[in-house]
């Protein structure tokens, strides 16, 4: 155990944002309040979370990843999720082609040769030590880049990280001489990265963050209300993630190899399998950018070289079931949050797999046109999905670096985790042009409290008394079925109207059959919370309604005529 060093004084800190994933890690810092991702000495911004030892020499990142082919037994990969976990509860699926996890001294450990010399005994290292060594490399590379020793970091973690996992991560960072300023949840970090852009709006919105990684996909629904983030629902999936796409391509090329050359299946030999995996992943990434990608491996099996190509359409066909899985996952979380796709303002695609154009396009089909899909292939201004979390973490780090460690916990934990919030919307009833009562939301559902919102309600055209009714509101989804197919005379009339050639009219008929029902979000007026009458509002005047929801969920409503003195104020208890 190394000596516990005192945390640096706030003024002496050098801070970074850090993402420590099972597949990749990345580091960022801020320059003039803007986040910048740091490349390590290999020039990588996505740094594989892998350590490898050759002749006592330690390699990390891409160099270590390359050793998965030639030195798998001394290479440790996919270990982040094992931190702070019991051996019995871990899933070692992804470690079959590198050092295997085992139970030693009550924790998950790896036995590797990390010392020089043929006779040197292998070491059995707990996952905490592996993590500390890896984090030390990241800190080293960030320090080299910045030209000063990095002392502290905000680190992103999945939303389902248990207290024990968090504690283990903080301890591992401590071993690497890195103060953890704060652990923030990965989806909130992604939202922060977008909200911090100059054009980013801190408006009230519902955001779905689809974090599609290598070994897991984590989807969250986040309510962003006046800069406060509340996580409404989450789901974690270990089946639909990047490795499943690698697997599709590995099988594809292995079969093609067998068809062409016969001989032994490259999937039956560890080294061939590692090569197949590495090249399949590269081909997969190339298919995110181009319509064609090549695949080429020297001595894939029994000394036979293999080269091939694949186009995007073919890839999308063979990977269809995996792609569909991503859609189902996202849909399920929206439902879990008690929301409808129509409630979602933005979908942020985060994580390496989010570069895949087909995934972004497919998500576009389940959300209405009004929902923004933030992915490189759908929105030119989208931020690189692989960098979102680390950017968010860096921004948060620069924001809180001046605080004493004790104050950080108190002042910011609530803001990025679940905080008390109103369940229903609060708003006013207004009359529509056709004289119907309609609900105008002022405080959106899931708004974190305390909150304060103001709206202006127009007085009747000629002025006069304005009755302001404050009510709760709920949304429901109104489904309008397409017009039943017209028959008889009216059909004939329609066809005539619609088209001037027979061909076209056939077409429009088909289209009609396929027309989908129309779904829209409508507000339902709930229970009345308060009523206030403002008398004698002048012609063209407006009434200002302010709603304050206190931390204890009591509501204070203030109404006044704009430009006039006085007003009505009342408190409603929760
Ligand atoms: P994990 O889910 O294992 O914790 P992570 O969060 O560490 O993953 P990410 O870097 O977010 O990892 O995602 C890694 C995955 O993204 C890998 O499967 C990788 O192949 C894939 N990936 C990276 N870039 C691209 C790309 N351009 N196109 C398609 N997939 C990509
Ligand atoms: Mg991840």
Domain identity same for 234 and 289: no
Q: Is 356 in the pocket of ligand 1 (CB under 6 A)?
A: yes
Q: Is the residue at 531 inside a domain?
A: yes
> Alpha-carbon distance 202 to 189, whole Å?
14
Query: Residues 325-341: what's their mean pLDDT?
Result: 95
Name which of 117-126, 303-312, 386-395 the model is least confident about: 117-126
Does pLDDT of 411 surpass 80? Answer: no
Q: Which range scores top for mean pLDDT: 142-151, 411-420, 470-479?
A: 142-151
Do 209 and 356 sit in the same domain of this protein?
yes
Least confident of 7-11, 357-361, 429-433: 429-433
Residue nearest to atom 26 of ligand 1 (CA): 285
Three-state SS for 424-478 is CEEEEEEECCCCCEEEEEEECCCCECCEEEEEEEECCCCCEEEEEEEEEEEEEEE
Q: Within a domain: residue 224?
A: yes
What is the rounded distance in angstroms from the CA atom of residue 348 to the CA atom of residue 337? 16
The pLDDT value given to residue 565: 67
For ligand 2, the distance from its centroid to the CA atom of residue 544, given in whole angstroms, is 45
The atom number, within ligand 1, closest to the CA of 352 reads 16
3-state secondary structure 288-349: HHCCEEEEEEEEEECCEEEEEEEEHHHHHHHCHHHHHHHHHHHHHHHHHCCCCHHHCCEEEE
Q: Are residues 231 and 127 in the same domain?
A: no
Report which secondary-structure segment, H or E, holds 116: none
Please report the atom of ligand 1 found closest to the CA of residue 49: 7
- Mean pLDDT of the 169-184 span: 96
If one residue of 18, 20, 22, 24 were mutated to test the ligand 1 pocket, choosing by the most ligand atoms within 8 A of its CB, it would be 24
Omega of the bond prior to 450 within 30 degrees of 0, cis?
yes
CA of 91 to the centre of ligand 1 (A): 19
- Answer yes or no: is 552 within a domain: yes
352 lines ligand 1 (CB under 6 A): yes
**How high is the pLDDT of residue 550?**
83
b/e code 161-195 from CB counts within 10 Å (16+ = b)? beeebbebbbbbbbbbbbbbbbbbbbbbbbbbbbb
Residues 218 and 251 in one domain: no
**What Cα–Cα distance (Å) separates residue 178 from each residue in 13, 52, 169, 175, 420?**
10, 22, 11, 7, 32
User: Residue 448: pLDDT band by 50, 70, 90 thresholds?
Assistant: confident
Q: Is the CB of 389 under 6 A from ligand 1?
A: no
**Cβ of residue 285 lying under 6 Å from some atom of ligand 1:** yes
How far is 502 from 290, CA to CA, in rounded Å?
Answer: 41
- Are 98 and 173 contained in the same domain? yes
Statement to judge: residues 467 and 489 lie in one domain:
no
Mean pLDDT, residues 423-445 taken together:
82
Task: Identify the residue with better confidence: 393 or 479.
Answer: 393
**Do 352 and 229 share a domain, yes or no?**
yes
CA–CA dist 179, 397 (Å, integer)? 11
Instruction: Look at residue 192 and tell me if it is in a domain.
Output: no
Would you say the CB of residue 213 lies under 6 angstroms from ligand 1? yes
pLDDT of residue 485: 59
288 ligand 1 Cβ < 6 A? yes
* Position 503 pLDDT exceeds 60: no
Question: Looking at residue 444, what is its pLDDT?
Answer: 84
pLDDT at 490 exceeding the cut of 90: no
Tell me the CATH number at 265: 3.90.640.10
Least confident window among 59-68, 290-299, 430-439 = 430-439
Per-residue pLDDT band at 12 (split at 50, 70, 90):
very high
Question: Mutation test of ligand 1: which of 44, 186, 213, 235 has the most ligand atoms closer than 8 Å to its C-beta?
Answer: 213
In 3-state terms the chain splits into helix, strand, coil percentages (rounded to 5) of 35, 35, 30
Q: What is the mean pLDDT of residues 85-93?
A: 95
Indicate whether 364 and 509 sit together in one domain: no
- For ligand 2, a single-atom ion, which residues have Cβ within 5 Å? 21, 213, 351
Residue 217 CA, ligand 2 centroid: distance in Å: 7
Check whether 488 has a pLDDT greater than 60.
no
pLDDT at residue 323 is higher than 50: yes
363 or 554: which leads in pLDDT: 363
Q: What is the pLDDT of residue 425?
A: 87
* Ligand closest to CA 387: 1
Distance 312 CA to ligand 2 centre (A): 25
Q: Band the pLDDT of 183: cuts 50, 70, 90.
A: very high
Helix (H) / strand (E) containing 235: strand 228-237
The better pLDDT of the pair 27, 553 is held by 27
Residue with the larger pLDDT of the pair 153 and 421: 153
- Grade residue 487 by pLDDT with cuts at 50, 70 and 90: low
Could you tell me if the CB of 284 is within 6 A of ligand 1? yes
Calculate the average pLDDT of the chain: 88
| Contacts of range 452-455, beta carbons closer than 8 Å, 24 or more positions apart | 452/546, 452/547, 452/548, 452/549, 453/546, 453/547, 454/544, 454/545, 454/546, 454/547, 455/427, 455/428, 455/544, 455/545
d(CA 75, CA 52): 4
| Band of pLDDT at residue 562, cut at 50, 70 and 90 | confident
Does residue 1 sit within a domain?
Answer: no
pLDDT digits (tens, 9 = 90+) for 262-272: 999 999 999 99
Lowest-confidence segment of 61-70, 321-330, 540-549, 557-566 by average pLDDT: 557-566
Choice between 520 and 375, residue whose per-residue pLDDT is larger: 375
Cα(315) to centroid(ligand 2), Å: 23
Whether 129 and 165 map to the same domain: the answer is: yes
Percentage of the chain exceeding pLDDT 70: 89
**Separation between Cα atoms, residue 426 and residue 473, nearest integer Å:** 6
CA of residue 361 to ligand 2 center, whole Å: 21
With respect to residue 194, please indicate whether it lies within any of the assigned structural domains: no
187-222 tens-digit pLDDT: 999 999 999 888 777 788 999 999 999 999 999 999
Q: Does any domain span residue 533?
A: yes
Q: 177 C-alpha vs ligand 1 centroid, how far in Å?
A: 28
One domain, residues 158 and 89:
yes
Q: How far is CA 262 from CA 275, 304, 306, 315, in A?
A: 18, 10, 12, 23
- The CATH number given to whatever domain includes residue 533 is 2.60.34.10
Model pLDDT, residue 76: 98
Residue 4 forms part of a structural domain: no
- Residues 318 and 327: their CA atoms lie apart, in Å, by 16
376 within ligand 1 shell (Cβ under 6 A): no
Cα–Cα distance, 237 to 158 (Å, whole number): 12
Ligand 1 in contact with 215 (CB < 6 A)?
A: yes
The pLDDT of residue 497: 42
The answer, yes or no, to whether residue 31 has pLDDT greater than 60, is yes
Q: Is the pLDDT of residue 140 over 90?
A: yes
Residue with CA nearest ligand 1 atom 27 = 285
Distance 23 CA to ligand 1 centre (A): 7
Q: d(Cα 60, Cα 47) in Å, to the nearest integer?
A: 8
Residue 417 pLDDT greater than 60, yes or no: no
Q: How far is the CA of 44 from the centre of ligand 1 (A)?
A: 14
Q: Are residues 253 and 234 in the same domain?
A: no
State mean pLDDT over 91-115.
95
DSSP reduced 3-state for 10: helix
The 10s digit of each residue's pLDDT in 336-381 is 998 999 999 999 999 999 999 999 999 999 999 999 999 999 999 9
The answer on 157 and 40 residing in a single domain is yes
Domain total of the chain: 5
CB atoms inside a 10 Å sphere around CB 120: 12
Work out the angle at residue 128's Cα, subtended by the Cα atoms of residues 123 and 131, and round it to the nearest 5 degrees. 95
pLDDT on residue 567: 64
Residue 201 Cα to ligand 1 midpoint, Å, equals 28
CB-ligand 1 contact for 412 (6 Å cutoff): no
Question: Which range marks the domain in which residue 562 is found?
Answer: 425-476+521-572
Name the residue at shortest CA distance from atom 15 of ligand 1. Answer: 214
Helix (H, G, I), strand (E, B) or coil at 159: coil
The predicted pLDDT at position 569 comes to 67
> How much is the ipTM here?
0.99
Helix, strand or coil for residue 29?
strand
**What was the pLDDT predicted at 496?**
40
CA 203 to centroid of ligand 2, rounded, Å: 26
């Amino acid at each position: 155990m190394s000596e516990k060093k005192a945390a640096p004084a706030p003024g002496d800190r050098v801070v970074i944002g850090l993402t420590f994933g099972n597949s990749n890690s990345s580091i960022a810092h801020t320059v003039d309040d803007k986040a910048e991702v740091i490349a390590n000495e290999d020039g990588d911004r996505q740094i594989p979370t892998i350590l490898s030892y050759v002749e006592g020499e330690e390699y990390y990142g891409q160099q270590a990843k390359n050793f998965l082919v030639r030195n798998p037994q001394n290479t440790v990969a996919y270990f982040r999720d094992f931190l702070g976990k019991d051996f019995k509860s871990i899933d070692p699926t992804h470690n079959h082609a590198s050092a295997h996890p085992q139970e030693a001294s009550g924790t998950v450990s790896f036995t590797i040769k990390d010392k020089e010399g043929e006779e040197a005994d292998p070491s059995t290292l707990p996952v905490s030590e592996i993590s500390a060594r890896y984090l030390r490399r990241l800190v080293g590379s960030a320090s080299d880049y910045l030209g000063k020793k990095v002392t502290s970091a905000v680190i992103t973690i999945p939303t389902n990280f248990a207290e024990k996992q968090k504690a283990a991560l903080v301890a591992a960072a401590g071993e690497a001489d890195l103060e953890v300023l704060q652990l923030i949840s990965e989806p909130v970090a992604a939202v922060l990265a977008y909200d911090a852009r100059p054009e980013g709006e801190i408006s009230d919105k519902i955001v779905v963050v689809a974090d599609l990684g290598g070994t897991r996909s984590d989807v969250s629904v986040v309510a962003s209300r006046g800069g406060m983030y509340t996580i409404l629902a989450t789901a974690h999936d270990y089946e639909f993630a990047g490795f499943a796409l690698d697997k599709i391509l590995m099988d594809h090329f292995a079969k093609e190899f067998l068809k062409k050359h016969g001989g032994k299946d490259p999937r039956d030999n560890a080294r061939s399998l590692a090569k197949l995996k590495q090249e399949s992943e590269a081909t997969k990434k190339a298919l995110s950018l181009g319509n064609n990608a090549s695949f080429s491996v020297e001595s894939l099996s029994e000394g036979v070289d293999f080269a091939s190509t694949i186009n995007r359409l073919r890839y999308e066909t063979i990977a269809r079931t995996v792609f569909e899985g991503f859609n189902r996952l996202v849909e399920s979380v929206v439902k879990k949050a008690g929301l409808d796709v129509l409630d979602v303002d933005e979908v942020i695609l985060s994580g390496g797999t989010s570069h895949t154009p087909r995934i972004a396009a497919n998500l576009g089909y389940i959300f209405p046109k009004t929902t923004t899909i933030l992915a490189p292939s759908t929105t030119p201004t989208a931020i690189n999905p692989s960098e979102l979390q680390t950017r968010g973490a860096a921004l948060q780090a620069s924001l809180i670096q001046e605080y004493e460690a004790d104050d950080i916990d108190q002042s910011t934990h609530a803001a990025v985790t679940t905080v008390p919030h109103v369940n229903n919307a609060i708003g006013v009833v207004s009359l529509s042009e056709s004289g119907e009562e309609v609900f105008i939301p002022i405080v959106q559902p899931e708004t974190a409290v305390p909150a304060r919102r103001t709206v202006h309600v127009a007085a009747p055209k000629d002025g006069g008394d304005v009755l302001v009714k404050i009510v709760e509101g709920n949304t429901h989804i109104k489904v309008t079925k397409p017009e039943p197919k017209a028959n008889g005379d009216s059909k004939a009339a329609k066809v005539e109207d619609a088209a001037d050639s027979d061909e076209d009219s056939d077409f429009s008929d088909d289209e009609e059959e396929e027309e989908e029902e129309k779904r829209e979000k409508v507000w339902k007026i709930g229970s009345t919370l308060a009523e206030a009458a403002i008398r004698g509002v002048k012609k063209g005047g407006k009434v200002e309604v302010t709603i304050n929801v206190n931390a204890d969920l009591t509501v204070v409503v203030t109404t006044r005529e704009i430009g006039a003195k006085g007003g009505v104020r009342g408190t409603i208890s929760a």
